[in-house]
Amino acid sequence: MKKINVLCYGIDNKDKMVGYDYILNDIFKNYNVDLVKCLLVEELDHTNGNFDVFIYHCRNPEILCHFGYSPTYEQVLNAVNKFKPKIVVQLIDEFWQEYNQFHHQIANHCNLLLKQHRHWYHEYPENIIQIPLGYNNGFLNNQTSIKSMYERKYTWSWTGHLKADRYEMIQEFWRIWHHVCACNGGLSVNETQQWYGDSVFVPCGRGNSSLDCWRNYEATVSGAIPVVVGPRDEIETAFRFTELPPWIYGDTWKNVVDKCQMIIDDRKEMQRMQDENLKWWDRVMDHIREKIDNAF
């Protein structure tokens, strides 16, 4: 198994890297991660060597986010030119309002650029591909097996902060019984995984900006069925992987709750949907890993 060295740029602690477990253990599953180095921007001139993978948070550097500082495009370009990674990974690129598409030029300086979010007004060279957001750090630590739909005790569950369309989402899903719901935090990562692992549906409301949220994929890898509401063109843009995920979609929360209620008693159909979701996840991961193999 090939050994690779990974650099997390602009980050002083790997715990601040969003989806650390998912990126290294799932996306780069076929490789032995020999070294992970976190490097602050001001340490660039005092650090030498080559790195196979370069990871950074792609946000407006003038905005201080909960994960800390984001490097400027020029700082990223200088570091990429110095360390010569074959693969660059852009994280936290959700906010289309920041117009960070000029960061796509980094693809001219590496073999493959992986990014988390896709926006309708961006153009994407062939060596830029979107990856699923994945799951929170530690999310799968205690997962031993995926329960079938026949074993699940909750019709639906949800945990998170109420914002955007999530008020309406919860109100509509309360029409379906046998649920657990925690608003505005309070659950650990492991508790959230246990909830999703025991639920049939997980409603996935809009995040800070995009329809694309960790919850969509945390539900998927837990064997639950994500439920997403939004304009069709936005759905097809946000989730334009090799194929649209086989989730439940609709243009209103009432519409998707009605869909869920129509199949709630058909466990055979829900088991088919769970199987298709898990197969979709495997196909997407295989496609990304093939691209990574080619880049190396």
Q: What is the pLDDT of residues 123-157, one digit of tens each?
A: 677 899 999 999 988 888 877 899 999 999 999 99
Q: Which helix (H) or strand (E) holds 3?
A: strand 3-9
Residue 167 lies in a domain: yes
Question: Are 98 and 177 in the same domain?
Answer: no
Helices (H), the chain: 20-22, 73-83, 166-173, 189-196, 214-221, 232-238, 253-263, 267-295
How many separate domains does the chain show? 2
CATH of residue 40's domain is 3.40.50
Question: Are 99 and 165 in the same domain?
Answer: no
User: Comparing C-alpha atoms, which of 128, 135, 131 is closest to residue 106?
Assistant: 128
CA gap 211, 240 in Å, rounded = 12
CA gap 170, 182 in Å, rounded = 10
Question: Are 122 and 180 in the same domain?
Answer: no
Q: Which helix (H) or strand (E) holds 201?
A: strand 199-203
Question: Are 194 and 271 in the same domain?
Answer: yes
Q: Report the predicted TM-score, pTM, of the whole model to 2 decimal places.
A: 0.91
Residue 211 lies in a domain: yes
User: Comparing C-alpha atoms, which of 61, 57, 55 is closest to residue 98?
Assistant: 61
Residue 145 lies in a domain: no
Question: Are 13 and 105 in the same domain?
Answer: yes
- Please count the CA atoms within 13 angstroms of the CA of 88 that sit on its side-chain side: 24
Question: Are 109 and 161 in the same domain?
Answer: no
The pLDDT of residue 99 is 60
Residues 6+ apart with CB under 8 A from 18: 57, 67, 91, 92
What are the tokens at 112? 């493959």
Question: Are 114 and 72 in the same domain?
Answer: yes
Asked whether 227 and 248 are in contact (CB, 8 A), the reply is yes
Q: What is the pLDDT of residues 153-204, one digit of tens each?
A: 999 999 988 887 899 999 999 988 888 888 766 688 889 999 999 999 999 9
Structural domain of 123: 3-131
| Bigger pLDDT: 165 vs 61 | 165
pLDDT at residue 67 greater than cutoff 60: no
Distance of CA 171 to the CA centre of its chain: 26
Which of 131, 165, 183 is where one domain is finished? 131
Q: Strand 87-91 and strand 112-115: pairing?
A: parallel
Q: What is the mean pLDDT of the chain?
A: 89
Question: Are 185 and 123 in the same domain?
Answer: no
Question: Are 122 and 208 in the same domain?
Answer: no
The pLDDT of residue 271 is 97
Question: Are 216 and 261 in the same domain?
Answer: yes
Taking each helix axis as running N to C, give the angle between helix 166-173 and helix 253-263, from 0 to 180 degrees, rounded to the nearest 10.
30
Side chain identity, residue 136: N
The pLDDT of residue 136 is 87
Question: Are 48 and 107 in the same domain?
Answer: yes
Residues 6+ apart with CB under 8 A from 180: 154, 157, 158, 195, 199
Which of 98, 131, 164 is where one domain is finished? 131
CATH of residue 255's domain is 3.40.50.2000
Residue 185 lies in a domain: yes
Residue 144 lies in a domain: no
User: Comparing C-alpha atoms, which of 72, 49, 48 is closest to residue 61?
Assistant: 72
Mean pLDDT score, 205-212: 83
Residue 291 lies in a domain: no
Question: Are 112 and 202 in the same domain?
Answer: no
| Bigger pLDDT: 184 vs 81 | 81
Residue 143 lies in a domain: no
